[in-house]
Structure 1
Amino acid sequence: IQAKELTSLQTVSKELHELAERLGKARIDDDYVETDLQTWTNMLEKLKDDVNTFSSSIYMQENPKEILVAKMYISKTLQQPREREQFRESYGPILIENNGFMATHIGPKNDTAYVRGLGEYSLGTHKIRFLFTKNSIHYITSFKVVSALMPIRGVSKSSYEGYGWSSMDEIECPGNQMIFNRNTLDMKGETSFEIELQLDCDNQKISYVNQRTKNKRELNVDITKCPFPWQVRFSLYEVGDCVHLLP
């Protein structure tokens, strides 16, 4: 019986892996319609039922606050913590090096470029530390959370948007109507700043602490505009702009 269950579990694992690859390709290509989402949701429901038949210690459940395919996740008790964030993909003239912990704008000219982290976050609280260095104060960089369903280049048929902050101390979010003290200088005018970014998935908000000024800012996230899972995305503009992920 145990051997039969193991074989069946391996089959389900293979099917989940194949489905994940299909979802990943559709997400990157931004090529899917409502009928595709319904088909994938039905497949996930079947696989969830299959997994739940093997053992009471292995189960899947749904988050009713989330929509379509993005609402499926493994129980929090099974979620493994990520030791450290790393860079995975980029758009524009970005060089990823130092084992995925550093990304640099390599030009040859100034232009907007993006780099995104490997981690995908849907549950719990996660802290990500990084050091931003710039050649000058005249160009804007930014960091934000975006939906993993959103293409790296930031253009999506689904109109998903990100939430975060720029080096000019501006909030970047849908509508950009949040209120904060514009008289408080934090990153503006600086060419280097170390940030601890916190993702609070359970309460649907993000915050950061500037390690030099000790200023803290917080931002609520509308998960209908930025659905789970979240990823961290950085925007660089000037040649030589660099972001280094810290332990």
Structure 2
Amino acid sequence: MVYRRESCIFIVLRRYEREVIYITINNMSSYSTRKECAKGTDCKQAGIAHCEGCTQAFCIKHFNDHRRLLDDDLNVILSEYNDFKNTLTLESSNPFVTIRLQEIDVWENVSIEKIQQKAAELRQEIVHVKVTQIETLSSKFQALAHQIQESKEQDDFIETDLHRWARRLDDLRSNLISPTTIALNQHHHNPLIPNISVSFLWTGNELFDRVLSNDVQIEQDGEVVEGVSFFMMSNEIRGKNNYAFGCHKVRVQIEHSSKQWTFLGINSALTPLQKSSHESKSAYGWCSSDYIYSNGSSQANKTKSPIEMNIDDIITLIFDCDHRQISMINERTDVKHELMVDTNNCPFPWQFHVVLRNRCTRIRILAT
């Protein structure tokens, strides 16, 4: 089939399934600008057929040869395609699949054995926690009952004593064993078989519970902590409660501070007490020198609102376990600071974490 235009003649050589091959034949008037065949010196004919794939021009003979070579290449691809199709059909019986299934069976059996062993250890630990908790509560209750009875016999008590004894009794009551006081904590550092441990989640009013050294003292049944040494360094204090779920508030008042260096925040209950604990990877919180601590490093507070912990300031700390976040609010300035917690570095349960450096620094836990 031939199509004529003013300067060119288009000849349809042949049709493929979805392609029509056109040859453009230049008019004799433009003979001097005709292209040579891509075969070069091997062909003296003009390149009147253009291949869109390789963008070369061929004479009619070599254009047909070029198409036959493409057909041969296509047949090779079709042959490889058929070979792969046959391989794919046999893939369901691939022996390597059976080998991998056997490896999974071995992994499963080993995992079950480890899990059963760990489950037995956890059951024993829970029984031990139960016995220890009952003994602890009984001991504290007997001491409190003795104190109350002695005060009654001597008629030596006032209103503040009654309020304090009522709070202690409420605290003992809130720590009776219940679903909210015993938690199973998952440790995600083992991706195949997450390890878990048992910890008793103390609830009720927060109290100061442990100190690193005698440089600081806990007073008034855990409500107050004070630095007492002339030569004290950074000294860690922990609260008694463990936090693993829910949202919790702790209110403290800075009653006295000879120099302004106080750290308030959290630490993981799994991290032992240590010197300069605010620099550990599991410590998260704020320092009165306007620094923020997290992941074992400190950085200056870059917000417009400074971190303040002045004498008589009341600070509210919020531990939001569900959203992995802690907050600090200065009730005098109404300034709020927030900090996200990486539980890989600070795993649950969390504990209230205070660090004091100076003698006579005194902090009191208030009712929430």
TM-score of Structure 1 vs Structure 2, range by shorter chain: 0.5 to 0.7
Once the two structures are superposed, residues 140-159 of structure 1 have per-residue CA deviations (whole angstroms, 9 ceiling, x without a partner) of 11011100000111589xx7
CA contact (8 A) 2:328 2:336 kept: yes
Match of 1:224 in 2: 344
Q: Any conservation in 2 of the 1:66–1:223 contact (CA below 8 Å)?
A: no
User: Is the aligned partner of 1:108 residue 2:225?
Assistant: no
- The answer on whether the counterparts of 2:291 and 2:300 sit within 8 Å (CA) in structure 1 is no
**Residue pair 1:70, 1:228 contacting (<8 A) in 2 also:** no
Paired position in structure 2 for 1:117: 239
CA RMSD of aligned residues (A): 3.4
Deviation at 1:64, TM superposition (A): 6.1
Residue 291 of structure 2 is aligned to residue 170 of structure 1: yes
The answer on 1:235 being equivalent to 2:355 is: yes
Q: Residue 142 of structure 1 aligns with which residue?
A: 263
Residues of 2 paired with 1:184 and 1:73: CA distance? 37
SS at match of 1:184: coil
- Which shifted more, 146-155 or 116-125? 146-155
Letter of the structure 2 residue corresponding to residue 149 of structure 1: L
Compared with structure 1, are the counterparts of its residues 62 and 85 closer, same or farther at alpha carbon in structure 2 (3 Å cutoff)?
closer
Secondary structure class of the residue paired with 1:245? strand
Q: How many positions carry a matched residue from both structures? A: 192
Once the two structures are TM-superposed, the CA of residue 14 in structure 1 deviates from its matched residue by 6.5
Please tell me whether the aligned partners of residues 195 and 211 of structure 1 are also in contact (alpha carbons under 8 angstroms).
Answer: yes
What secondary structure is seen at the aligned counterpart in 1 of 2:241?
coil
Question: What letter corresponds to residue 206 of structure 1 in structure 2?
Answer: I
Q: 1:20/1:109 Cα in 2 relative to 1: closer, same or farther (>3 Å)?
A: farther
In structure 2, the partner of 1:3 is: none
The SS at the match of 1:199 is strand
Distance 1:20 1:89, change over 3 A: farther
Aligned to 1:133: 255
Report sequence identity in percent: 27
Secondary structure of the corresponding residue to residue 258 of structure 2: coil
Q: Between Structure 1 and Structure 2, which shows a larger proportion of helix residues? A: 2
For 1:16, which of 121, 126, 131 is the aligned residue?
A: 126
Q: Is the 8 A contact 1:70 1:229 kept in 2?
A: no
CA distance in 2 between partners of 1:21 and 1:226 (Å): 28
Q: Check 1:160–1:169 CA distance in 2 against 1; reply closer, same or farther (3 A cut).
A: closer
The two structures have a TM-score, normalised by structure 1, of 0.66
Aligned equivalent of 1:88, options 209, 213, 218: 209
Q: 2: distance between equivalents of 1:205 and 1:13?
A: 31
Aligned to 1:29: none
CA shift digits 1:114-167 (9 cap, x unpaired):
110000000000001011234334x411011100000111589xx742100001
Q: Where does residue 325 of structure 2 map in the other structure?
A: 205
2:221 is the counterpart of 1:99: yes
Per-residue deviation, 1:113: 1.2
**Cα pair 2:249 2:316 within 8 Å, conserved:** yes
CA contact (8 A) 1:145 1:232 kept: yes
Which secondary structure does the structure 2 equivalent of 1:18 belong to?
Answer: helix
TM (norm. structure 2) is 0.45
Describe the shift of the 1:124–1:133 C-alpha distance in structure 2 as closer, same or farther (beyond 3 A): same
One-letter amino acid matched to 1:132: I
Greater radius of gyration (CA): 2
Alpha-carbon separation, structure 2, partners of 1:221 and 1:202: 11
| Structure of higher RCO (CA pairs closer than 8 Å, 6+ residues apart) | 1
Once residues 133 and 69 of structure 1 are traced to their aligned partners in structure 2, the CA distance between those partners, rounded to angstroms, is: 42
Change (3 A) 1:62 1:95: closer
Alpha-carbon distance in 1 for matches of 2:311, 2:296: 27
Distance 1:179 1:209 in 2: 18
